[in-house]
């Protein structure tokens, strides 16, 4: 937390600062350990003060503010960071403040309880090296079915673990992976290379549906209350969770099973063993290949072997 829906909500919440100019940068003194700010504050300040904001974007789970100098301010909220235009909940956890001029908002704030967030100022070349196509996969809201199967289809990893790989697919974290797989009725432990065409199609549709619905609901604010939007308001998608943190409760999708919790790669996974049960039909052989080329893919994507439609 936060994941793509929360960070996209932050991005949309601060989008109106485009056209503003940074008049001042401050890092309030605190008894807490400082967050990571790169480059050091004096150089950071020198490069941003006086610069105009020309765009607000997102790279996976990061908010990106573009300046007219071509530099970009990258906010990485990690566990508890918030990118705000509203007044912060307190000053103790106030990390960075950009005073703004010539725009609708007086300031842009980065606030972080646990201090794990990162604020970077990068050049275009640094951005490409750190967050370009070699480091970050296609955005989960934009990836096509063929790109999804090309990147994950040949993997022997469990599908839940594969969805969390930011190099393959950017933006999905632990919470939304559980919700997506539940809606797609896929067991979280099934290897990627055992999914059929119908499975990949259903998974791709579920990714879009869950993430788009979560963005419309302004993201998920869990019991810890850490996540808030740019106006410091909670999200509402937690009220629609069907799997995440519902262990022991009835499955609202099939009405027959109960949500269970397992641990995968030291993370909690929630699913229904009834509607997400592994299928009992055919399985691919261990040597099955699942590769495809989007540029030449036929109507039936070549990333699926011959048995996939059975």
Catalytic residues: 2-3, 61, 267
User: What span, in angstroms and rounded, lies between the C-alpha atoms of 269 and 175?
Assistant: 8
Within 10 Å of residue 101's Cβ, how many Cβ atoms? 12
User: Considering only CA atoms, which of 49, 23, 186, 173 is closest in space to residue 106?
Assistant: 23
Q: Of how many residues is the chain composed?
A: 310
Q: Return phi, psi of residue 242, to 5°.
A: -105, -20
- Burial degree of 141 (CB within 10 A; 0-12, 13-18, 19+): middle
Q: Which conformational region is residue 265 in: left (phi greater than 0), alpha (psi within -120 to 50 degrees), or beta? A: left
User: What span, in angstroms and rounded, lies between the C-alpha atoms of 235 and 246?
Assistant: 18
User: What span, in angstroms and rounded, lies between the C-alpha atoms of 238 and 178?
Assistant: 13
Q: Do 174 and 268 touch, CB atoms closer than 8 A? A: yes
DSSP per-residue string spanning 71-84: -EEEEE-TTTEEEE
First to last CA, the chain: 38
């Amino acid at each position: 937390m936060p994941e793509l829906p929360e960070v996209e909500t932050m991005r949309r919440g601060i989008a109106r600062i485009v056209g503003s100019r940074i008049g001042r940068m401050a890092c309030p003194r605190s008894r807490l350990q400082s967050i990571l700010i790169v480059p050091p504050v004096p150089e950071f300040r020198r490069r941003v003060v006086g610069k105009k904001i020309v765009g607000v974007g997102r790279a996976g789970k990061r908010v990106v503010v573009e300046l007219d100098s071509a530099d970009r301010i990258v906010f990485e909220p990690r566990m508890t960071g918030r990118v705000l235009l509203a007044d912060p909940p307190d000053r103790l956890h106030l990390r960075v403040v950009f005073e703004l001029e010539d725009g609708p908002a007086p300031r842009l704030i980065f606030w972080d309880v646990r201090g794990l967030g990162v604020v970077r100022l990068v050049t275009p070349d640094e951005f490409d090296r750190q967050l370009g196509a070699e480091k970050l996969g296609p955005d989960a809201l934009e990836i096509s079915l063929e790109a999804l199967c090309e990147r994950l289809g040949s993997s022997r990893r469990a599908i839940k673990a594969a969805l969390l790989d930011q190099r393959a697919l950017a933006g999905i974290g632990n919470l939304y992976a559980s919700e997506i797989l539940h809606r797609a009725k896929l067991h979280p432990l099934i290897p990627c290379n055992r999914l059929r065409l119908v499975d990949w199609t259903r998974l791709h549709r579920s990714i879009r549906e869950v993430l788009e619905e979560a963005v419309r609901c302004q993201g998920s604010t869990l019991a810890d209350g850490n996540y808030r939007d740019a106006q410091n308001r909670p999200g509402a998608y937690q009220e629609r969770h069907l799997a995440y943190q519902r262990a022991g409760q009835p499955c609202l999708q099939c009405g027959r099973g109960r949500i269970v919790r397992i641990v995968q790669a030291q993370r909690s996974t929630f699913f229904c063993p009834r509607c997400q049960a592994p299928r009992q039909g055919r399985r691919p052989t261990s040597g099955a290949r699942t590769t495809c080329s989007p540029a030449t893919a036929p109507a039936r994507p070549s990333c699926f072997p011959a048995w996939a439609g059975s």
